[in-house]
Amino acid sequence: MKVTVARKAHFNAAHRLNNPSWSEAKNKEVFGKCNNPNYHGHNYNLTVKVTGEIDPETGYVIDVKVLSDLIKHEIEARFDHKNLNLDTEEFKDLNPTAENIAVVIWNILRPLINQKLDLKIVLYETERNFVEFGG
Amino acid sequence: MKQKEILLNLEAEVNKAKAENIAVVIWNILRPLINQKLDLKIVLYETERNFVEFGG
């Protein structure tokens, strides 16, 4: 009997989508406005979902306080109010698309959460665009 | 009841009221009342930012 526990968080960050191995013209053609050399920002909304059996002793799948602290210290501290391309190690050589950000967040959190529990990332880049990654 | 026993009982009651367990209880109440051909899923927000899901 598996239950999913979810915690919502958000962070604001700037980025620019660019493939350095392409010409300026091709980058502009593929990424459009998102290739703007001086960057642009998003208010990212993040939902982290953890699925597993309820611990009979605590009644929890995972303590939401633990999950919320992990998100705060590992994700928000790293990415909030940052320029993803310039200020973060993770996106120095990785295009900071919503897809890649979701995968990076999953990779950061996965070793920190009990391996018996499933982990899924839902990342909204805008109100209408979101990506999901579950490993 | 001894104090320790009372505390243990209290703890058991608190555990039952965790969001995870509330979602399961709601699912168990509704499941027999809804056509078995239909899937049922509970999404329970305990706060604006914390929610649980249970689909049986």
Instruction: Please check whether residue A35 lies inside any domain of the structure.
Output: no
Instruction: Please check whether residue A53 lies inside any domain of the structure.
Output: yes
Element (H, E) at A40: strand A40-53
**CB-based contact A113:A119 (threshold 8 Å):** yes
Q: What is the pLDDT of residues A18-35, one digit of tens each?
A: 999 999 999 999 999 999
pTM confidence score? 0.89
CA of B25, closest CA in chain A: separation in Å? 12
Strand, helix or coil at B5?
Answer: helix
Residues B19, A5: C-beta atoms closer than 8 Å: yes
Q: Which of A3, A7, A49 sits opposite B54 (nearest CB)?
A: A3
Phi, psi of B55 (to 5 degrees): -125, 20
Read off the CATH number of the domain in which A73 is found: 3.30.479.10
Give percent of chain B with pLDDT exceeding 90. 68
CA of A47, closest CA in chain B: separation in Å? 9
The residues spanned by each domain of chain B are 3-54
pLDDT at B53 over 70: yes
* Predicted local distance difference test score (pLDDT) of residue B7: 75
Q: Which of B17, B21, B51 sits opposite A54 (nearest CB)?
A: B21
Residues B53, A3: C-beta atoms closer than 8 Å: yes
Two tokens at A18? 């660019």
Domain holding A50, by residue range, is 2-13+41-133
Q: What is the pLDDT of residues A34-63, one digit of tens each?
A: 999 999 999 999 999 999 999 999 999 999
Strand partners, A132: A122
In chain A, residues 46-105 whose CB comes closer than 8 Å to chain B: 49, 54, 57-61, 64, 68
Neighbours of A80 (CB within 10 A): 14
**CB-based contact B52:A5 (threshold 8 Å):** yes
Quick one: which of B33, B38, A132, A15 has its CA closest to B55? Answer: B38
Range A64-88 average pLDDT: 98
* Predicted local distance difference test score (pLDDT) of residue B9: 73
Q: Give this complex's ipTM.
A: 0.83
Residues A59, B18: C-beta atoms closer than 8 Å: yes
Q: What is the pLDDT of residues B10-29, one digit of tens each?
A: 776 666 678 999 999 999 99
Number of domains chain A is built from: 1
* Predicted local distance difference test score (pLDDT) of residue B16: 66
B56 contacts in chain A (CB < 8 Å): 1
